[in-house]
């Protein structure tokens, strides 16, 4: 029982740190995120900031038992919402030519891994 509690706590803390850090980078380096937003998405800069804000918010809320379920589903919806940006990146590797194209394609199934990771926070 103690071992499970440790793993749950570790998972929650790691998920929180990951998403809070990722969200902060939306404000520190918005130009990176602007490059990967598909052209059909309106208000790209606002979307970068909004997605970063939600990553920080849900990343923090997952730390608290009373808001964990809301945060968990919020992060899952957010991961699904940013999937078009990851597809756009894979289809347009010229956006960041120094990164090998296979990395962009590897990111796509990684979204499912992140969703599974978030679901472990229950």
What's residue 7's pLDDT? Answer: 61
pTM reported for the whole predicted model: 0.90
Please tell me the number of Cα atoms within 13 Å of 51 on its side-chain side.
22
CB contact at 8 A, 74 and 61: yes
First to last CA, the chain: 15
Name the one residue in this structure whose structure tokens are 């309106």: 42
Helices marked H in the chain — which ranges? Answer: 2-28, 30-36, 44-61, 68-81, 83-91, 101-119
- Percent of the chain clearing pLDDT 90 (strictly above): 89
Q: Which tens digits make up the pLDDT trace of 21-65?
A: 999 999 999 999 999 999 999 999 999 999 999 999 999 999 999
pLDDT at position 57: 98
Rounded percentage of the chain residues whose pLDDT exceeds 70: 94
Q: What is the mean pLDDT of residues 100-116?
A: 94
On whether the CB atoms of residues 108 and 90 are closer than 8 A, the answer is: yes
In this prediction, residue 79 carries a pLDDT of 97
> Is 5 a residue whose pLDDT tops 70?
no
Which pLDDT tens digit goes with each residue over 70-95?
999 999 999 999 999 999 999 999 99
C-alpha to C-alpha distance for 33 and 26, rounded to whole angstroms: 7
């Amino acid at each position: 029982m103690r071992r499970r509690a440790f793993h749950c706590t570790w998972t929650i803390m790691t998920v929180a740190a990951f998403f809070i850090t990722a969200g902060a980078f939306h404000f520190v380096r918005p130009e990176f995120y602007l490059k990967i937003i598909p052209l059909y998405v309106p208000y790209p800069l606002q979307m970068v900031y909004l997605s970063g804000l939600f990553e920080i918010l849900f990343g923090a809320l997952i730390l608290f038992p009373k808001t964990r379920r809301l945060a968990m589903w919020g992060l899952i919806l957010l991961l699904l919402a940013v999937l078009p940006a990851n597809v756009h990146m894979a289809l347009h590797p010229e956006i960041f030519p120094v990164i090998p194209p296979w990395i962009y394609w590897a990111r796509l199934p990684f979204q499912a891994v992140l969703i599974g990771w978030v679901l472990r926070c229950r």
